[in-house]
Amino acid sequence: MKKLYAVIGNPIGHSMSPIMHNDLFSFYQIDASYLPFQIKSEDLKDAVDGFKAIGIGGFNVTVPHKTAIIPLLDEVDELAASIGAVNTVVNENGRLKGYNTDGPGFLKGLQAFMSGAASKKILLIGAGGAARAIYFTLAMEKPDAIDIANRTVAKAQSLIDDCPYSVKSEACTLDEAGRKLGEYDLVVQTTSIGMAPKIADQPLDLSNIKKHSHVCDIIYNPLETKLLQDASNRGANVQNGIDMFVYQGALAFEKWTGIFPDVERMRENVLKQLGGLHVNR
Ligand code: ATR
């Protein structure tokens, strides 16, 4: 019987996950469909119960349900529980188990470009939900340090205080981070600054950037943010948010099917969709 997979969020119409996963199901000849469902917060429990009742194979969870879903699941894995957010649910013999593939997806994307985070001095920009998943995941990779720069420094400090994995970290303002930018091997931008339509914005001044450092922006619309253009002009290696998106999806697909999918195929598919979006705007 055809299996159902899904993504739930509100809004959900923009999600590229259905096209990405349906293409993979057909490519690997798996009899399954992946559908988007717009679910209001007050309906979340009913939606989860309904999914369980129909024997769903698994589903992704996006804004605003990543944290609220946790008490509705039968089990949550350790990393997702410490991050406090679930983006992937797997139906394991009738029990719904939550995982977080956002942080690990970011790390896998990073490793496809460079040796990873071990022994690196890292600057994380932002202290929201995405920063939290990335910070906790990178903290386990034994980096030299991960400093967090945020408009609201107290939020960066709470993120540091919350992290269960031991890592050297300081919280600072965006201006302070700009002044000491020469110290960092890797800069990871996780805020919405520079996202379409406000593409002229940039979170910090890059005058002091270390040559040949690596700069990641988790934004993929536009494909090259002002920050990445600036970093590239100054001799840094740059990486946009497509990799994190594709690898979080690949890790979810692997949890559901046991197959780690062809990420190049996924990347091409996503880029094709984004290209369409740009043309249509
Ligand atoms: P997400 O879950 O996508 O990470 P979020 O939890 O709303 O989103 O977090 C947004 C992040 O972007 C925060 O670090 C936020 O800074 P504050 O903690 O000070 O609010 C940052 N951010 C968003 N817009 C910003 C802006 N215009 N200037 C500076 N930082 C901004």
**pLDDT digits over 95-111, tens only?**
999 999 999 999 999 99
Q: Is the CB of 101 under 6 A from ligand 1?
A: no
| Whole-angstrom distance, CA of residue 235 vs CA of residue 182 | 13
Q: Is 57 annotated as a binding residue?
A: no
Please say if the pLDDT value at position 113 is more than 50: yes
Instruction: Answer yes or no: is 278 within a domain.
Output: no
Please tell me the total count of domains within the chain.
Answer: 2
Instruction: Answer yes or no: is 255 within a domain.
Output: no
Provide the CATH number for the domain around residue 163.
3.40.50.720
- Has 66 been annotated as catalytic? yes
**Residue 115 vs residues 72, 112, 203: alpha-carbon distances, Å:** 38, 8, 26
Provide the CATH number for the domain around residue 24.
3.40.50.10860
Span from the CA of 254 to the centroid of ligand 1 (angstroms): 31
Instruction: Answer yes or no: is 277 within a domain.
Output: no
| Of 2, 3, 66, 121, catalytic | 66
Please say if the pLDDT value at position 279 is more than 50: no
Look at residue 254 and give its three-state secondary structure.
helix
| DSSP string of 149-184, one letter each residue | E-SSHHHHHHHHHH--S-----EE-HHHHHHTGGG-
Q: Is 16 annotated as a binding residue?
A: yes
Q: Are residues 87 and 112 in the same domain?
A: no
Q: Are residues 121 and 87 in the same domain?
A: no
Residue 103 exposure: Cα atoms within 13 Å on the Cβ side: 26
Which tokens hold the place of 40? 């209001």
Instruction: Answer yes or no: is 274 within a domain.
Output: no
Are 132 and 66 a contacting pair, CB within 8 Å? no
Q: Are residues 74 and 88 in the same domain?
A: yes
Range of the domain at 64: 3-100
Q: Are residues 134 and 232 in the same domain?
A: yes
* First and final C-alpha spacing in the chain: 39
The predicted structure's pLDDT at residue 234: 97
**pLDDT digits over 33-48, tens only?**
999 999 999 999 999 9
Final residue belonging to a domain, choices 51, 66, 100: 100
| Whole-angstrom distance, CA of residue 153 vs CA of residue 141 | 24
pLDDT bucket at 277, cuts 50 / 70 / 90: low
Instruction: Answer yes or no: is 214 within a domain.
Output: yes
The predicted structure's pLDDT at residue 275: 84
pLDDT bucket at 257, cuts 50 / 70 / 90: very high
DSSP state of 192: S
Q: Are residues 209 and 236 in the same domain?
A: yes
Q: Are residues 22 and 10 in the same domain?
A: yes
Instruction: Answer yes or no: is 80 within a domain.
Output: yes
Average pLDDT of the chain?
96
Q: Is 34 annotated as a binding residue?
A: no
| Whole-angstrom distance, CA of residue 70 vs CA of residue 53 | 18
